[in-house]
Amino acid sequence: MYNMSRLRAVLTLPRRLRLSAPTPLDRNVDHMKFVLDLRRRGIMDAAVLRAMEEVPRDKFVMPAHARSAYVDRAMPIACGQTISQPFVVAYMTEQLEVRPEHHVLEVGTGSGYQAAILSRLAAKVTSIERYRTLADAARIRLKALHYDNVDIIVGDGTAAVPDRALFDRIIVTAAAESVPQALVDQLTVGGIMVLPLGPHDEHQALAKIVRTEHGFERTDLIGVRFVRLLPGQAQEL
- Which residues bind to ligand SAH, rule: CB under 6 A? 81-84, 107-108, 110-111, 113-114, 128-131, 134, 156-158, 173-174, 227, 229-231
Alpha-carbon gap, residue 142 to 202, rounded angstroms: 31
List, in order, residues 6 or more apart from 87 with CB less than 8 Å away: 38, 41, 43, 72
Map residue 110 onto helix, strand or coil: coil
Find the shortest distance in angstroms from Cβ 47 to ligand SAH: 18
Find the shortest distance in angstroms from Cβ 76 to ligand SAH: 10
Give the distance from CA 137 to its chain's centroid: 15
Identity of the residue, 7 or 221, whose beta carbon is nearer to ligand SAH in the bound complex: 221
- Catalytic-residue membership of 84: yes
Looking at 68, 84, 119, 178, which residue is catalytic? 84
Alpha-carbon gap, residue 45 to 37, rounded angstroms: 14
Alpha-carbon gap, residue 2 to 23, rounded angstroms: 13
Find the shortest distance in angstroms from Cβ 73 to ligand SAH: 13
Find the shortest distance in angstroms from Cβ 53 to ligand SAH: 17
Identity of the residue, 177 or 217, whose beta carbon is nearer to ligand SAH in the bound complex: 177
Map residue 130 onto helix, strand or coil: coil
Residues designated catalytic? 84
